[in-house]
Chains A and B, each alone.
Chain A
Amino acid sequence: MDLEYSAGHQAFRDEVREFLKGWPLKGDEAKRPQEEQEQIFRKRGIEAGYVYRAVPKQYGGSEQPSDAIKDRIIIEEFYAAGAPRDLMSQGAGLMVPTILEFGTEEQKERWIPPALTGEENWCQGYSEPGSGSDLASLQCQARLDGDEWVLNGQKIWTSSAQRAHMMFGLFRSEPDAKKHEGITYLLVPMDAKGIEVRPLREMGGGYEFNEVFFDDVRVPVSNTVGVRGQGWQISRATLVHERNLIGNPNMMREAFSDLLDLARSRTLNGRPANEDAGVRRRLAEIEGYVQTSQLSNMRQFTASNKGKMLEVMRPMMMNKVAGTDTMQMIMKCAYDLLGGDGVIAPTEDELDTWGRKTTSSGWVLQYIFSMGPSIAGGASNIQRNIIGERGYGLPRDLRRTS
């Protein structure tokens, strides 16, 4: 065990820090809209070799030799500087790795570059009204007609569909095949004729997810990813990326540090809340979970670097549910610290900024939002099934076969 970085990696960290002095932007650049500033800086990050390192240059990435420790340093430093790096969007975070692995050359050239810059937004069309945890039971239909797929049916809970240019989704192409075998992975332009997006209002008050209806929507066959009927297997690969996005320990550490600041700024029984014995214990208990997640992540990181991935399969399976439970603990504690202010609803502005935690109603929104990740991307009960069955070898649930 040695937590020191090698001289080479230490020098690399210094280099990254030097680069990060360029954020926030200065002078005239700083006067541009926030989104543009982020794009400018991200582009510089790509040129410097810090952003989209695993994506080949020809598709807009920086194509760096794989070095997990450098990746980690970059993430840590960019995170600390609050600087824009790889987009964590559905497009860059989920579609791109999938296409890189399973897509055709044309698909990579066409879809990856604009997804990396964020010029084209993507949404994920998996869930349906009748198919959530049991995703493989999905019914949204794709019927081949010449060189086009014809889509009919409905998707639901589709986040950011209202802004998306494209959807990657799962469709039933072989109605007679077995449940997991008749599914095809398709790329669908959201402006195609016959698509209708209807917003759903979330409990927080905003409109982030949607219903998407398909009425004889035509999509070229060239938009099929991988082999027809193999969509399920391909989607499993995407899911790994999604769970990694959710179980991010940097996010947890940041949220915990915000929570400490909140405790310092609130008053309890006439004294600063952070001096209250009960509050301090509760915070320290949460720190136990936060540190555990972070250190377990480091252990997994080292093990996979050494090619000993098999030794950390169990803790890897636990990342998602442990991470979302810890985030919920943080938000529950924050909520109690708000006292009476916890009943004030978030403003429109806070809904737009996802409740950045500077105001009490911003925290209220976070308190509500923290439940989402426990449901999305495989609900906690499903995670516990995976841990019990694959982690500890317990029998699978009895289920009616279809």
Chain B
Amino acid sequence: MDFGLSEEQEMLQETIRGFAQNECPTTRLRELFDEGEGHDPALWSALAEMGIAGLIVPEEHGGAGMEILDLALVAEVLGEFAIPGPFLGHSLAIRGVMLAASAAQQANLLPDLASGEMIATVALQEADAAWAPESWTARVRDGRLTGEKTIVSHAALADRILVGLDGGGLAWVDAKGQGVVIEDLGGIDRTRPVYKVRFEGAPAEVLEGGSGNAWQLVETAAVLLAADAFGSATKLIDLDVAYAMEREQFGQPIAQFQAIKHTVARIGTDIEPARALFWYAAHCQDAIEAEAGRAASVAKAHITDRAMNAARESVELHGGYGFTWECEVQMWFKRIMLDRSLLGTPDQWRERTAVMGEY
């Protein structure tokens, strides 16, 4: 019985933390944020070099052969530094391939993905918040994909797109090929731009593993979004503490006011214990299948909800400055907005919790 991280896992997080501090400090993040591309080729290839692009890809296919828990721990740190880049979609595309592709397909697709040279993303959600697999309508007929997906992260950057189909199947599409129309939606989180993608008879390869894995893929997404929101919220608490100590009013640091201290304590108490929640949800995907659905539902709903609340409190704690574009808080605020809204809101995941928990 050991509900803690291994030394390797702690080191993994420290390594990425150190990397992020050096290569994407807030000054650089700010530049990237204002450019709005949500991507820095140098950053991505350095991460890929460290094995992040193919973290869960089996070693035989050129990956690091690690677990979903490791992936979630990386997502936490990327959230903490609001690192721009295609990590989320890319990791989920890999997960989808590993869940649903035949052995031959995996051998074909995974090595390029593991190296990060080929970038992939996932297109799951459709218009009117149709994010649950049962509501997907995109379809492949005679090898041609038709349908429309929305809130697809990094679609313009990606080489390949893994698409969710009616009935829960998954198809693999060349993002730069014919019949794929990509429209920038002007996403609020400028570290992870989002797109509408229309498929007009695009050539598609259906993954052969059947249609039973769609929920597992969506649940992995839920865990990674929760981990990202958790990391983002811990960063906001650090920013709150630093600002509260520095900003003076009425002749004293505002941290001296108990209302401010208690704000920090409240959001801290909402966030810090929930670290265990995303650990567990991720670990269930690796080792406790029977619990995985419920744990992912609770983690996505609870953490993104509490993190959003922490973000709103953080803006208020920073006063007028908190309301500016200049203030750092907004970058994490918007990161959490995406984590919360993409692929199911807290209310929707709570209904799923109720179903899975047989209320």
Minimum C-beta distance from B350 to chain A (A): 4
Give the residues in chain B near A264, CB-CB below 8 Å: 359
Please tell me if the beta carbons of A1 and B359 are within 8 angstroms of each other in the complex. Answer: no
* A288 and B305 alpha carbons, distance in the complex (Å): 10
Residue-wise, chain A 241-279 has the 8 Å CB interface mask toward B (1 for contact) of 000000000000000000010011000000000100100
Does residue A206 face the partner (Cβ distance < 8 Å to B)? no
Minimum C-beta distance from A263 to chain B (A): 7
User: Which one, A260, A295, A321, A385, contacts B269 given CB within 8 A?
Assistant: A321
Please tell me if the beta carbons of A284 and B279 are within 8 angstroms of each other in the complex. Answer: no
Give the residues in chain B near A394, CB-CB below 8 Å: 241, 244-245, 255, 260-261, 264
User: Which one, B237, B262, B287, B305, contacts A3 given CB within 8 A?
Assistant: B287
Give the residues in chain A near B347, CB-CB below 8 Å: 281
Residue-wise, chain A 299-318 has the 8 Å CB interface mask toward B (1 for contact) of 10111001010000011001
User: Which one, A9, A260, A280, A292, contacts B351 given CB within 8 A?
Assistant: A280
- Number of inter-chain CB pairs below 8 Å: 162
Does residue B275 face the partner (Cβ distance < 8 Å to A)? yes
Residue-wise, chain B 99-136 has the 8 Å CB interface mask toward A (1 for contact) of 00000000000000000000000000000000000000
Please tell me if the beta carbons of A299 and B275 are within 8 angstroms of each other in the complex. Answer: yes
* A125 and B261 alpha carbons, distance in the complex (Å): 31
Does residue B25 face the partner (Cβ distance < 8 Å to A)? no
Please tell me if the beta carbons of B283 and A3 are within 8 angstroms of each other in the complex. Answer: yes
B4, B256, B261, B346 — which one has the most chain A CB atoms within 10 A of its CB? B4
- Chain A residues within 8 Å of chain B by Cβ, number: 53
Give the residues in chain A near B273, CB-CB below 8 Å: 292-293, 295-296, 315, 318, 322
B292-308 at interface with A (beta carbon < 8 Å): 295, 297-298, 301-302, 305
Give the residues in chain A near B279, CB-CB below 8 Å: 1, 295, 299
* Chain B interface SS verdict (over half): helix
Residue of A nearest to B283 (CB): A1
Please tell me if the beta carbons of B269 and A287 are within 8 angstroms of each other in the complex. Answer: no
Does residue A47 face the partner (Cβ distance < 8 Å to B)? no
Does residue B268 face the partner (Cβ distance < 8 Å to A)? yes
* A9 and B275 alpha carbons, distance in the complex (Å): 27
Please tell me if the beta carbons of B268 and A299 are within 8 angstroms of each other in the complex. Answer: no
Residue of A nearest to B10 (CB): A311
User: Which one, A1, A281, A295, contacts B2 given CB within 8 A?
Assistant: A1
Residue of A nearest to B4 (CB): A302
Please tell me if the beta carbons of A384 and B265 are within 8 angstroms of each other in the complex. Answer: yes
Residue-wise, chain A 362-402 has the 8 Å CB interface mask toward B (1 for contact) of 00000000000000000001011101110111110110000
Does residue B88 face the partner (Cβ distance < 8 Å to A)? no
Please tell me if the beta carbons of A287 and B3 are within 8 angstroms of each other in the complex. Answer: no
Please tell me if the beta carbons of B359 and A302 are within 8 angstroms of each other in the complex. Answer: no
Does residue A79 face the partner (Cβ distance < 8 Å to B)? no
Minimum C-beta distance from A322 to chain B (A): 5
Does residue A40 face the partner (Cβ distance < 8 Å to B)? no
* A288 and B303 alpha carbons, distance in the complex (Å): 9
Please tell me if the beta carbons of B3 and A284 are within 8 angstroms of each other in the complex. Answer: no
Does residue B35 face the partner (Cβ distance < 8 Å to A)? no
Please tell me if the beta carbons of A387 and B256 are within 8 angstroms of each other in the complex. Answer: no
Does residue A59 face the partner (Cβ distance < 8 Å to B)? no
Please tell me if the beta carbons of B357 and A287 are within 8 angstroms of each other in the complex. Answer: yes
* A9 and B237 alpha carbons, distance in the complex (Å): 39
Please tell me if the beta carbons of A295 and B351 are within 8 angstroms of each other in the complex. Answer: no
Please tell me if the beta carbons of A314 and B283 are within 8 angstroms of each other in the complex. Answer: no
Please tell me if the beta carbons of B359 and A260 are within 8 angstroms of each other in the complex. Answer: yes
* A280 and B279 alpha carbons, distance in the complex (Å): 25
Residue-wise, chain B 159-184 has the 8 Å CB interface mask toward A (1 for contact) of 00000000000000000000000000
Give the residues in chain B near A2, CB-CB below 8 Å: 1-2, 287
Residue-wise, chain B 249-277 has the 8 Å CB interface mask toward A (1 for contact) of 00001011010111011101100111111
Residue of A nearest to B278 (CB): A295
Does residue B69 face the partner (Cβ distance < 8 Å to A)? yes
Residue of B nearest to A263 (CB): B359
Give the residues in chain B near A381, CB-CB below 8 Å: 262
Does residue B185 face the partner (Cβ distance < 8 Å to A)? no
Minimum C-beta distance from B221 to chain A (A): 18
Give the residues in chain B near A260, CB-CB below 8 Å: 357, 359
Does residue A285 face the partner (Cβ distance < 8 Å to B)? yes
Minimum C-beta distance from B327 to chain A (A): 20
Does residue B333 face the partner (Cβ distance < 8 Å to A)? no
Minimum C-beta distance from B236 to chain A (A): 13
Please tell me if the beta carbons of A1 and B272 are within 8 angstroms of each other in the complex. Answer: no
Minimum C-beta distance from B281 to chain A (A): 9
Please tell me if the beta carbons of A299 and B258 are within 8 angstroms of each other in the complex. Answer: no
If A1-B6, A389-B261 touch, whether A395 touches B269 (CB-CB below 8 Å) is no
Give the residues in chain B near A391, CB-CB below 8 Å: 265, 268
User: Which one, B4, B261, B272, B301, contacts A284 given CB within 8 A?
Assistant: B301
Please tell me if the beta carbons of A299 and B261 are within 8 angstroms of each other in the complex. Answer: no
If A284-B357, A391-B268 touch, whether A291 touches B277 (CB-CB below 8 Å) is yes
Please tell me if the beta carbons of B265 and A392 are within 8 angstroms of each other in the complex. Answer: yes
Please tell me if the beta carbons of B262 and A315 are within 8 angstroms of each other in the complex. Answer: no
Does residue B153 face the partner (Cβ distance < 8 Å to A)? no
* A281 and B349 alpha carbons, distance in the complex (Å): 9
Does residue B5 face the partner (Cβ distance < 8 Å to A)? yes
* A277 and B355 alpha carbons, distance in the complex (Å): 11
* A314 and B357 alpha carbons, distance in the complex (Å): 30
Give the residues in chain B near A287, CB-CB below 8 Å: 298, 353, 357
Does residue B46 face the partner (Cβ distance < 8 Å to A)? no
Please tell me if the beta carbons of B1 and A302 are within 8 angstroms of each other in the complex. Answer: yes
Please tell me if the beta carbons of B354 and A280 are within 8 angstroms of each other in the complex. Answer: yes
Residue-wise, chain A 1-16 has the 8 Å CB interface mask toward B (1 for contact) of 1111110010000000
* A318 and B245 alpha carbons, distance in the complex (Å): 22
Please tell me if the beta carbons of A3 and B3 are within 8 angstroms of each other in the complex. Answer: yes
12 contacts between A and B (CB under 8 A): A2-B287, A281-B347, A284-B359, A285-B305, A287-B357, A299-B276, A302-B1, A318-B268, A388-B261, A392-B237, A395-B245, A395-B255
Beyond contacts A394-B261, A394-B264: 20 other A-B pairs, Cβ-Cβ < 8 A, are A2-B1, A3-B3, A260-B359, A281-B354, A283-B359, A284-B349, A284-B351, A284-B354, A284-B357, A285-B302, A292-B273, A298-B3, A299-B275, A306-B4, A314-B272, A381-B262, A385-B261, A387-B268, A389-B261, A392-B237
Q: Which 4 A-B pairs have the closest CB atoms?
A: A288-B302, A284-B350, A295-B276, A296-B273
